[in-house]
Amino acid sequence: MATMADIAERAGVALSTVSYVLSGKRSVSEDTRQRVFRAIAELDYQPHAMARGLASKRTKTIALLFPSLAKGHSEMRWEFVARAAEVAAEHDYAFLLWTAPDNDSEILQLTQQGRIDGLILMEIKLRDSRVELLKERRYPFSLIGHCQYNDGISFVDFDFEHAIASAVDHLVELGHRRIALFNHSVDLLEAGYGPAVRSLNAFEQATRAHGVDGVAVTCDSAGQGGYTTAQSLLAQHPELSAALVLHETAIGGVTQALRGAGLRIPDDFSLVCLISARLAEIMTPTLTTIDFPAAEMGRIGAELLIQQLEGHFGQPVQHLLRGSLTVRQSSAPFRQRALRA
């Protein structure tokens, strides 16, 4: 069995450096950290904390790995966290929220330290190296989200394809023929972030099937991302009469840009958003939504992991939740308007 001395020799560092990397008590350069973690993985090292955990079998602690792929945190994301934490408490588990950067070394560190029994992963990419790492190590985990290939994985996710299709159906039924999609940021789309990729593909398919014009744009979630994107979009496509907005942090900027262009919601422009019903009701005007079950997904994600840890099922369980269309004040039948010169 490998020791810390073996790790130090393999990584070419001092024994104390290995200790600092594992404990986090002192700052260590990223290059050194990566070398130590590669050595740990190659030698399949199990720290003493893990050994103690194995001796007692359980720590009764689970963690939600919650890296922010987008800049900042939206209120809806915390609905995932709050409900997962409640479920953990209901089952007498302590709950750890891990907001470290999204990389393999952080995952390896968390699993090697022996402080938790299992992980819930969020912000899932279609090809996610974190998932592959956990599968290889046979470490208990569940996903809120899912990859392109999901054999042997328990997950809960939102059916983005169905949601986008339902939103486009609603707007087309209202007579809208030119519709925009405010997607996640270009960085997330290029990284293969599941919701961004699936939503874009579904939007293109739905607008093509209805024979309507669809314009998809990416939108940063931080600062004035929604405003600047909508302002530019309206200048380039003044004929647009409706839009789907995928993330709550863009909504305020989009509505601000619409007002600045002299467009009233819903008389001149209709909006459909993918947010939770609770948030939709507190907006002005209240928003037509494909209701996003964030709290329910947090609950199921935690329960899937706890069921694994308690040995309540042997086969992976996969849930794809659908949101219902709730028509509120932000969508209305298309009305022709005079376009600015």
pLDDT of residue 53: 46
pLDDT of residue 247: 87
pLDDT of residue 38: 78
Q: Are strands 325-326 and 213-218 parallel, antiparallel or unpaired?
A: unpaired
pLDDT of residue 68: 62
Q: How many CB atoms are closer than 10 A to CB 319?
A: 17
Q: Are strands 155-158 and 141-144 parallel, antiparallel or unpaired?
A: parallel
pLDDT of residue 24: 56
Instruction: Tell me the residue type at 121.
Output: L
95: left (phi over 0), alpha (psi -120 to 50) or beta: beta
DSSP 125: B
Q: How far apart are CA 158 and CA 143, in angstroms?
A: 12
Q: Is 196 in a helix, a strand, or coil?
A: helix
Q: Which residues pair with 8 in a beta bridge?
A: none
Q: How far apart are CA 60 and CA 279, in angstroms?
A: 33
Whether 266 and 241 have beta carbons less than 8 Å apart is answered as: no
Question: Closest by alpha carbon to 150, among 175, 137, 131?
Answer: 131
pLDDT of residue 280: 92
Q: Are strands 242-245 and 178-183 parallel, antiparallel or unpaired?
A: parallel
pLDDT of residue 50: 45
- The secondary structure of 100-162 as a DSSP string is --SSHHHHHHHHHTT--SEEEE-S-BSS-HHHHHHHHHT--EEEES--S--TT--EEEE-HHH
Its sign, for the CA torsion 181, 241, 205, 275, is positive
Whether 77 and 294 have beta carbons less than 8 Å apart is answered as: yes
Whether 275 and 195 have beta carbons less than 8 Å apart is answered as: no
**Torsion angle of the four alpha carbons 326, 327, 331, 335, in this order, in degrees rounded to the nearest 10:** 140
Question: Closest by alpha carbon to 263, among 193, 212, 202, 337?
Answer: 337
Question: Tokens standing for 262?
Answer: 């002299």
C-alpha to C-alpha distances, 197 to 100, 125, 161, 164, 272, nearest whole angstrom = 24, 9, 10, 12, 19
CATH 3.40.50.2300 in the chain, residue ranges: 160-292
Question: Tokens standing for 249?
Answer: 């942090």
0.75 exceeded by the pTM? Answer: yes
pLDDT of residue 243: 98
Q: How far apart are CA 165 and CA 159, in angstroms?
A: 10
Q: How far apart are CA 206 and CA 224, in angstroms?
A: 29
243: left (phi over 0), alpha (psi -120 to 50) or beta: beta
Q: Is 120 in a helix, a strand, or coil?
A: strand
Q: Which mean pLDDT values do the consecutive 10-residue runs of the chain (341 residues) have?
A: 77 82 67 79 60 57 76 70 91 84 69 84 92 89 96 96 98 98 94 96 98 96 85 96 94 95 96 92 94 95 94 85 96 81 47
Domain 1-45 has CATH 1.10.260.40: yes
Q: Can you give the length of the chain in residues? A: 341
Query: Which fold does the domain 160-292 belong to in CATH?
Result: Rossmann fold (3.40.50)
